[in-house]
Every structure is written in C-alpha cells, then in structure tokens.
Amino acid sequence: MTVDTTTSAVSTADTDRVGSTSAILPVGIIGFGWMGRAHAQAYARIRHHYPHITPVPRLSVIADEVTDRAAEAAAQFDIASTVADWHAVVADPTIGAVSVTAPNFLHREIGCAVAAAGKHLWIEKPVGLSADDARAVARAAREAGVQTAVGFNYRNVPAVAAARELIAAGEIGEVTHARFRLFSDYAAHPDGALSWRFRRDRGGNGVLGDLASHGADLVWFLLGDIESLVADTAIFVANRPRPTGATAGHQLASGGERGPVENEDYVSAQMRLAGGARCVLEASRVSVGAQNSYGFEIHGTAGVVRWDYRRMGELEIGAGDAYQDLSVATRYVGPGSGDYVNFQPGAANPMSYDDLKVIEAARFCESISDPSRAGATVDDAVRSAEVLDAMTTSVREGTWVAPASMR
C-alpha cells in the first residue's frame, strides 16, 4: 500500500479535522460510467460524514477508455490525471487503493492485478462472471495482504441493520419464512441498447449478477447460510438494438441492427436456509411499472418485519404474543441504527442511495487501518456468487442444488 504521510499532502485544516497522524490515501478509479461516478462522489464526501476517518482518500487518477468522459470527470472532481489504459493505474507506485467499476468481464483480470500490485481494492459486485472469478480475486487479495470492499450497498441501510438486530434479538421469534424481491424496469424497454450487460461473455448471468447478487447477500446478512435452492430463469426481451457508440447506464438505441440477448432477464428461487427457514428470492430487470422495487418480508413464530428500499428509513414491524390479528406498525429508524447518525440528527430524515456508497467507502478506508471495521468484502462476493452458480446449475439440471460452500 502507498500512503502519503508528508506534511505537504495535508493542509492545516486537514490536520485539525482528522488529527496530525492521519495519512492521505491516493486513490484511482478504473471505469467511469455511472458507478465510477458514484465511487468518486463517495470518496469526496467521506470527511463530511466521517470527519475522523483514517486514512483519508484523495482521488488521484481516473482510467477510462472514453477519454472525453474521463477528462470531464477529472475537471469536475479536481483529479490531476486521466489515463485510457487501466494498467497505468496498477503500475503507478503512488496509488494506494483502487476502485474497480469496469464491466463484469474485466473484474477478474483487473481485480487480481490491483491486489497483486499491493493496492487495496474496492470492486463492484458481482466480481466477475462466476464464483471462480470471485474466488480468484479473493485469493489474490489474501495472498497480497490487501483489504477489499464489494458493492453490496443495501446491507448498509440503517433500517436493514435495525432489522438484523431485531431478528437476532428474537423480537419476531424464530424465523419461519421470508420473501426477498429486486424488481426493476431498467431493461424493460425493447429498444434498450444491446450493451455488454446482455452478453454472456461480458455481462455473465444477467439479472442474477446484477440484482440477485444483492438478494443473496441480504438473505445471508439477515438470515444466515442458504443450504440448498431450486431456481427458474427466463429471457423476456429476446433481442435489442446494437449501440453505435459507448454507453453509460441504460441507454436506448432505437433503429439500430438488432441482436440476441444472451443472459437472464428474470430469476426466481426457492431456498432452504441452514436455520430451517424457507425463503423465496425473485429478481427482474424487465418489470414494467417497477422502479427499484427492492425489499423483503420476514416472518417469524411471533411476528413479522418488512422493508421497502423506496421507503428506506422505515420498517414495518409486528411483534408480540397476539399471533392472530397482530397489528403492524411503522418504525422510523434514526440515530442508533447502523450509520444513520453520521448523516441525520433525528429519525425520519431521509437518506439516499449515494449515502449508502459513502458508508461503503468509509468502511473500506477504515478497514485499511483497522481490518475489524470492514464491511462487505470479496469473501462475501464469493458466497453470493456461489449462490448464483447454484441457481444456474438448478435451472440446467431441474433439481435442488447446494451452493459450493454448503456441499
């Protein structure tokens, strides 16, 4: 790891705010589409919400083959350098940490290279195209002794942290069954551009890696290991127009030559959890009328807890000894739940998606000086990817399958 501890790198204001022994961590970002921008914004905001964090990240270089996009971002975020080739970031001895927000098919190559160069790694999920890819990155990080973070941002929601605590405390009794959903319409338009996301060799298993990976992580985070599952998948938009230039996000490309969609639009899975509960996980990228409709409903022997991402700061909770005709009330989370206090002073003040990425960035930086402060890591990406691989195997074989770590 390269950390700049020279006095010239830290202003007097920096010293006053974070302490005289604080270190500056030069950071590079590889890939600057929407998610690269989210990482840049998160790094820039860390000290607004975590004023005593160490080391302090400093954005130093952006790598993106779309040079105009990189240059515009560098000007906006006051970043000194841009490069077209990501190898230059890995080779730069002054860079101590790297965010990898490139397309999925590049995760393994770039992630392993970053780790091998001794740089700490914040990489977006699903970390490659398969569990083998995620394992390779995890192994490289372990051998290099670097810290990692992975973009499972929904576990950072203070309401989700509160739900985890109340489940663990037995407020709803023993968990019996649950349902997790991740529905979106970002690919519902038939003229959505046939970007890398829809190719098997570049986007992997489609909505499984894009959305169901979050679901698999949340199931584990809240309820524990998935013992076995049976799954079904479908492609509902069979072909799309090819884009004529670089794409960012989910652009339309009407009028272009159409090509086949190679990976999944939809997945549903029934799960048996190691603790005995049953669970349904469902994800879709083509759900017309559903914009980021993510959430869960968890039932126990003495109650229920429900959460909807679109009402991020609320939990619906029913608990007690009534069993039948039990009332459900809304609880607004506030200081004391997760990292809420770092953003708002009182319950019911809203937080945002971007706030979740700030939490993620903060835990990444904290883990560099104190590994016990780590959030989701590449090891969590391996666990999630093994669940996705089990889904793919289940669809192919038409049977219940145990994730690799549970065999």
- Shared domain for 96 and 178, answered yes or no, is no
Q: What is the pLDDT of residue 244?
A: 76
- Shared domain for 132 and 248, answered yes or no, is no
Last residue of a domain, one of 121, 153, 185: 153
Distance CA 32, CA 364 (A): 19
In a domain, 261, yes or no: yes
Question: Please, which pLDDT band fits residue 261 given cuts at 50, 70 and 90?
Answer: very high
| DSSP state letters, 334-375 | -TTSTTGGGT-SSTT----HHHHHHHHHHHHHHHHH-GGG--
Domain that holds residue 86: 7-153
- Write out pLDDT tens, residues 199-252: 999 999 999 999 999 999 999 999 999 999 999 999 999 999 998 766 655 788
Q: What is the pLDDT of residue 251?
A: 80
- Shared domain for 36 and 58, answered yes or no, is yes
Buried b (16+ CB within 10 A) or exposed e, 19-33: eeebbbbbbbbbbbb
CB atoms within 10 A of CB 7: 10
- Shared domain for 214 and 327, answered yes or no, is yes
In a domain, 160, yes or no: yes
Q: Quick check: 123 pLDDT over 50? A: yes
Distance CA 101, CA 27 (A): 13
Q: What is the pLDDT of residue 2?
A: 46
- Write out pLDDT tens, residues 290-306: 999 999 999 999 999 99
Last residue of a domain, one of 153, 181, 215: 153
Lowest mean pLDDT among 17-21, 26-30, 151-155, 388-392: 17-21
Q: Quick check: 8 pLDDT over 60? A: no
How many folded domains does the chain comprise?
Answer: 2
Eight-class DSSP state of 21:
T
In a domain, 1, yes or no: no
- Shared domain for 184 and 300, answered yes or no, is yes
- Shared domain for 55 and 30, answered yes or no, is yes
- Shared domain for 172 and 271, answered yes or no, is yes
Lowest mean pLDDT among 9-18, 139-148, 168-177, 229-238: 9-18
In a domain, 320, yes or no: yes
- Write out pLDDT tens, residues 364-378: 999 999 999 999 999
Question: Rg for the chain (alpha carbons), in Å?
Answer: 21
Last residue of a domain, one of 153, 188, 211: 153
In a domain, 142, yes or no: yes
Q: What is the pLDDT of residue 19?
A: 32
- Shared domain for 61 and 131, answered yes or no, is yes
Q: Quick check: 65 pLDDT over 50? A: yes
Lowest mean pLDDT among 12-16, 20-24, 32-36, 224-228: 12-16
- Shared domain for 146 and 124, answered yes or no, is yes
- Shared domain for 20 and 125, answered yes or no, is yes
